[in-house]
Structure 1
């Protein structure tokens, strides 16, 4: 599988990354999915300390035994649950990040993390503390690069201006094209997009609206009413019928040079195999990209702007 550099980090990630949140808690099945991914060219695994309150990191660590050198390993920090009775709270402080990374390393069973990401954030956060923490961890060799996971424009602009971030994880798909507004700025700062949600909750898979939730059926999805979703997906399928929906969805996101990798979850090897086939297919032509843009809506973020 082809690889792309993550920002200017020197880390080369497979075009398809495995989003580990959907692996579940049954260890044997989850480990098999991770190892299937590694066996088929996926070298980029994305987890978070919050997923199943640390259990996901433990499972990923089990799957990596004996194969650490084959993997670009990413996890996230900021959602703290060790001092609350129920749920979690947001804590981007330097002291917590420096504590949490050691907990993640222990659960993962590794000596270092390739990409450490701030798992959210607001404009009110003490961002200088978080940046200082990440830079300290880099100097100590506990992480190789850092980034953020955020869709908030004011947070993204702040970190691009003040930190050596290599990546921004953003929800990005044919049905959610909001990140396209920010691609020139990311390219200017040498940062990459890591695209999560490329299949739009399954609506861009072969099952299309059979995967739509009750909420989507009632209220639509982002700028699309449910009727507009039906029309849009039907038009895509009809006009580009030589390709699968998975292929169109993943290849559209990958057609943008700002994107280093698409992160897709998988709860089975069969689902993972479909995504692997989709990213290994021929890239979209310029004509196909233009047609997909014409058939979908280019939206923008309305909130959290300067």
Structure 2
């Protein structure tokens, strides 16, 4: 584990950029960026276009280490290059931004009010490649839709079981049990979730480090006590479908919680914008998310 990167993530002022839409969400991400499906005819062409989009974001002067601590990549992005350097190396060596990797394969069907992770059959090989490509940590997302104690317990147990496997490779897992922002019993789900998180954290070995990626809580500063748990490097928040403005406003009320936004980060960016327009909008977005994160 790179101690300089660990210190940056643990104590740095800023946020984590999520550039990890993948698989089924890639066409939607491209569409939001102004690229219609008739611009590509197969998966390879689609991923080339999405890499060009991400490269444009990463290379923008607005995407800098003064505001952005880390960036989460999709596997396909990790395997590609920017200006002749593998993406993770470019991020760290040229930008000073810590690289993470999304490792999950998507969500299972809804059961007990939750969606668990689908099996990740090639996880060991993926983690080996991540280490070779100088990745610092990983991310995997489950979803909680109802305050179902059994379902929430299963989500957190599964996340930590895989998280321990990831930590054994010297990587820092981001545990992401997202509570659906439209859930009618969101606050009740968050109470159950926090209890399960404390329970699993208490059972970890003393040297295991994890991050948590959580929905912005219904009750302000609800996760404050989790931030002091010795295994927790940092708690980051997902935008979860809130608009950028709403996500920032809610985040700013939660002290110590920093952003790890995806849709809210790329909101308004378009393939048709000039570099000057693109960079100006991204700069405003980055500044706004940064300011909400450091409050």
Match of 1:176 in 2: 244
Equivalent residues of 2:252, 2:292 under 8 A apart: no
C-alpha distance in 2 between matches for 1:99 and 1:33: 30
Q: TM-score, normalised by structure 2?
A: 0.51
Distance in 1, Cα, partners of 2:283 & 2:275: 14
Which position in structure 1 is the counterpart of 2:102? Answer: 47
Distance 1:99 1:56, change over 3 A: closer
Q: CA contact under 8 A between 1:48 and 1:57: conserved in structure 2? A: no
- Map 1:1-306 to 2 at 5 A: 5-6=8-9, 9-10=10-11, 16-19=17-20, 21-22=22-23, 29=76, 31-33=78-80, 36-42=86-92, 43-47=98-102, 49=104, 51=106, 53-55=118-120, 58=123, 60-67=126-133, 70-76=134-140, 78-79=142-143, 91-93=151-153, 97-106=156-165, 110-120=169-179, 122-125=186-189, 126-136=192-202, 139-142=205-208, 144-151=209-216, 153-154=217-218, 157-160=221-224, 162-164=225-227, 166-171=234-239, 176-186=244-254, 189-197=255-263, 198-200=265-267, 203-207=268-272, 243-245=276-278, 247-256=279-288, 257-258=290-291
Cα distance in 2 for partners of 1:120, 1:248 equals 33
SS in 2 for 1:75: strand
Is contact 2:101–2:130 with CA below 8 Å preserved after alignment?
Answer: no
Q: Tell me if structure 1 keeps the 8 A contact 2:102–2:139.
A: yes
Does the residue aligned with 1:168 lie in a helix, a strand or coil? strand
Structure 1 CA distance for aligned equivalents of residues 143 and 242 of structure 2: 29
TM-score, length basis structure 1: 0.50
Distance 1:156 1:139 in 2: 30
Instruction: Tell me the alpha carbon deviations over residues 264-283 of structure 1, each in whole angstroms, 9 at most, x when there is no partner.
Output: xxxxxxxxxxxxxxxxxxxx
State the Cα deviation string for residues 20-72 of structure 1 (Å, max 9, x = none). 635989999555238821121253224253527244983752531424xx433
Identify if the C-alpha distance between structure 1 residues 119 and 174 changes in structure 2 by more than 3 Å, giving closer, same or farther.
closer
Q: Secondary structure at the match of 2:91?
A: coil
CA distance in 2, matches of 1:99, 1:110: 18
Residue 296 of structure 1: aligned partner: none
CA distance in 2, matches of 1:157, 1:140: 26
**Structure ID, larger Rg:** 1
2:80 partner SS: helix
Number of residue equivalences: 206
Long gaps (5+) in structure 2:
27-42, 45-73, 93-97, 108-117, 181-185
- Tell me how large the CA RMSD over aligned residues is: 4.6
